[in-house]
Structure 1
Amino acid sequence: MRTLVLEEFGRMALADHPVPDAAIGEVLIRVAYTGICGSDIHGYTGHNGRRALGQVMGHESSGTIEGFGPGDHPRGLALGDAVTFNPVVLPLEDRLEFADREQHSPRKSVIGVDPTRHASFADYIVVPAVNVLRLADGMPVEHGALVEPTAVALHAIRRAGVTGRERVLVVGGGPIGQSVVLALQALGVAQVFVSEISPVRRTLLEEMGTTVIDPSAGDLLVALGRHGGPVDITIDAVGSTRSLADALACTVLGGTICLVGMGEPQVRLDAFAISTAERTLVGSFTYSARDFADAAALVADNPLTADALISRVIGPESADEAFTNLANGDDIPGKVLVAFAPTAEFAR
C-alpha cells in the first residue's frame, strides 16, 4: 500500500508498505480522505517536536471498512460501511475510569502523533473497533474527514463554558477556527466574531455568516468596540504570544479564554491581565469520545457548510508539495484533503 513517510523534516515521500492485518478487536479501514492538520504542518517542519522522522502521520480521516479482526463482527459495523475514527486510543483497562474524559488518560496514544503506529496518510489503517464511528446515512465520505477538527472545536467551546448566550471571539480563522464557528453557530450563539489576517479566509468566514475583523488593520479591541466592545469568551485557535495577548485584551473582566491553538510551544503572558482582571484561562486538547460522536452528528447536519470548508483535494503524489506550500504560508481558505480513494463525484 502507499504511505506518506516523513523522511526528513521538510520532506515527505511516498513509500510502499504491506497492508496491515487487523488483530482481534480491530478494524481495517480503506482510507478515502485524510485532512492536513496544522499540527501535521508543524510536525513536517519539525517545529513542534511532536512528530518523528520515519513516521506516517494523519488523523483527520474517513474511509470504508475493509475487514475485521479474526472472529470479530463489532456491533453496528459492517463491511463497506463509510466511517471515520477517533484517534485517541486508550488501553482497555482505562476505558471505564476515563469514560467521557478519555483525553485525560495518561496512557492514551493518539493516532497520527504516536510514532510507533502507521497512521492515515496511507491507503489503509488499522484502528480499534471501539474507535470507529459509522457515518450517517447519506453523509458524503469526504465530510467524514472534517469530524476530527470539528471535535477539537466542540470540545474547546465546551471547555470554555459556552451556553449560547455569550458574545464569542475566535482568534484565528484557519480550519480549527472555522470549525469553532460551525460549532458555535450550531449551538445558537448569535454574536460570533473572528480575528483573521488572511483575506481569503476572511471571505470564507463572512460567507459563513460571521463578523470578521482584520487584526492587521488596527487594534483588535478598538475594532471590537465598533461591534459592542469586549466579548464574554474568546477561543484562541492560534496559540501564540500575540494571539493570547489579543484574547486577554478583548475579553471582559471575569471572562474566559480557551487556548486550543498550538502555534508556539512556549508563550509569554501578561499575568496581571489574568489575575487582576479575574479572567479564566483554560486549555483544550483533543476531545472525549462523546465530543467526537457529537461532532460527527454536527457535520452531518450541516452539509453545505462542511462542503464549503473543503478548499482543495489532492492526490498522495502531490502531498509533499502541498505540505511545503502550507508551511510557507500558502493562502488556502479552508481544509486541504489528501485523497487516497476519492469518491467519483467529489474532486477539486
Structure 2
Amino acid sequence: MRELILTEIGRLEVHEAPIPTPGPDEVLIRVVATGICGSDVHGYTGENGRRFPGQVMGHESSGTIAATGAEVDGLAEGTPVTFNPVVVPAADAAAFAGREQHHPGKHVIGVARDVPAAFADYVVVPGRNVVALPDGLPIELGALIEPLAVAVHAVRRLPAGSLGRVLVIGGGPIGQSIVIALRDAGAGTVFVSEMDAARRELVQRLGAETIDPADGPIADQLRARGGLVDAALDAVGITPTLRDALTSTALGAPICLVGMGAPQVSIDAFLVSTEERSLIGSFTYGSDDFTDATEIIGAEPDVYRALISREIDVSAADDAFTALAAGDGTPGKVLVRFDREETTR
C-alpha cells in the first residue's frame, strides 16, 4: 500500500508498505479520503513541534471497512465509515465515555508519532473508535466529520445562554465548522473575523456575517453593528486574535480558545479579571460530540460540500502541503484521495 511519510520537515514522500493486519479488537479501514488539517501543515513546517520525521500523519478520514478482528462485532466489511482518532485504553473506555480527551494516557491517531495514521491506503483503528457514516452521505464528506466534531465540542464549552451574538475569529476550516456548529446549537447572529476575502465569502454562504480586520478594530466594527458580542471563539490562537476576542466581547463574556496557532500567548489580565471574562480551553472532543457531528453532516450533505475547496491525488500531496504552508489562498478543506490508484501510480 501507499503511505505518505514525513521524511523530513517540509517534505512528504510516497512510500510502499505492507497492508497492516488488524488485532482482535481492531478494524482495518480502506481509506478513501483524508483531509489536510491545519495542525498537519504546521507539523509539516515544524512550527508546532507536534509532528516528526518518519511519521505518517492524517486524522480526518473516511473509507470502508476492509477487515475486522475476531472480537469486533457489528461492523461489516464494506461499510462506509470514519473514525474518532482520540484513543483511550480499552479498559478505561467506559469510565471516560464522552470525555475521552481528558484521559491522561490517551493518544490521537495522526498526532502520536509511532502510530501509523490515515495518509495511507489503509489504517488500523480500534473497533470502538469506528463510526458508520449516515445512509446516503457521499463517502468523501466523511472526512469533514472530525473537524466538525472539534467545533461541536468547542461550542458546547460555552454557556448555553451566551449564544445570542457570537464572534468567531478565523474563517479557515475550523472557523467554518464552528459556524455550522453554532447554527446547529441555535445561535443568533454569528460574526466571523477573517482577513481573506475568499474565506469571508465562504462563511457568508454558511449564514455568517463577516468582518474584515483590515477595516479597523473588530470591537469598533461590532459596535457599529449592534454592540459587542456575548461570546467569542478564537479559531486561530495567537496573541493578536486572543486580544481581539477579549476586547470584542461584553463584560462577563466567555471566550473559547480553540486554535493552537502558538504554544504561548500574552493576554491583558485586566480584561479577564476586572471585566470578569472567562477564558475556556477546548481540545478535540468527546465521543458524543463526534457522533453528533456525524449526524449534523448527514442531515445536510449538500451544505457541507461547500467546505471542500479541492480534492487531490496522493502524488500531489507534498505540493499541496507546501502551497498551504505558504498561504496559497485556499479557502476551505483540501482532501487527499486514496481511491484514485490509477492516477497516482
Cα RMSD for the two superposed structures: 1.4
| Aligned position for 2:48 | 48
Deviation track 1:293-329 (CA, whole Å, cap 9, x = no partner) reads 0010011112122100011000110000000000011
The separation in 2 between residues aligned to 1:342 and 1:182, in whole angstroms, is 30
Partner of 2:265, secondary structure, is coil
| Aligned position for 2:80 | 82
TM-score (norm 1): 0.96
Partner of 1:42, secondary structure, is helix
Contact 1:221-1:250 at 8 Å conserved across structures: yes
Please tell me the residue identity of whatever aligns with 1:94. D
Contact 1:164-1:187 at 8 Å conserved across structures: no
Contact 1:164-1:188 at 8 Å conserved across structures: no
| Aligned position for 2:157 | 159
Please tell me the residue identity of whatever aligns with 1:42. H
Residues 279-298 of structure 1: pairs in structure 2 closer than 5 A: 279-298=277-296
| Aligned position for 2:28 | 28
Distance 1:328 1:252, change over 3 A: same
Compute the displacement of 1:342 (Å): 5.5
Deviation track 1:9-29 (CA, whole Å, cap 9, x = no partner) reads 111111111110001000000
Compute the displacement of 1:47 (Å): 0.5
Selected match of 1:326 from 324, 327, 333: 324
| Aligned position for 2:234 | 236
Please tell me the residue identity of whatever aligns with 2:180. L
Compute the displacement of 1:226 (Å): 2.0
Distance 1:11 1:282, change over 3 A: same
Contact 2:191-2:208 at 8 Å conserved across structures: yes
The separation in 2 between residues aligned to 1:234 and 1:54, in whole angstroms, is 38
Q: Kindly, what percent of the aligned residue pairs are identical?
A: 56
Matched pairs, number: 342
Residues 240-251 of structure 1: pairs in structure 2 closer than 5 A: 240-251=238-249
Show structure 1 runs of 5+ residues with no match: none
Compute the displacement of 1:164 (Å): 7.4
Partner of 1:311, secondary structure, is strand
Please tell me the residue identity of whatever aligns with 2:126. P
The separation in 2 between residues aligned to 1:21 and 1:138, in whole angstroms, is 29
| Aligned position for 2:17 | 17
Partner of 1:281, secondary structure, is strand
Partner of 1:254, secondary structure, is coil
TM-score (norm 2): 0.97
| Aligned position for 1:314 | 312
Compute the displacement of 1:165 (Å): 4.5
| Aligned position for 1:271 | 269
Residues 53-202 of structure 1: pairs in structure 2 closer than 5 A: 53-69=53-69, 71-75=70-74, 77-163=75-161, 165-202=163-200
Deviation track 1:200-227 (CA, whole Å, cap 9, x = no partner) reads 0011111112100001121111111122
Partner of 1:168, secondary structure, is strand
Runs of 4+ in 1 over 6 A off after TM superposition: none
The separation in 2 between residues aligned to 1:209 and 1:254, in whole angstroms, is 26
Deviation track 1:174-195 (CA, whole Å, cap 9, x = no partner) reads 0000000011112221210000
Compute the displacement of 1:97 (Å): 2.1
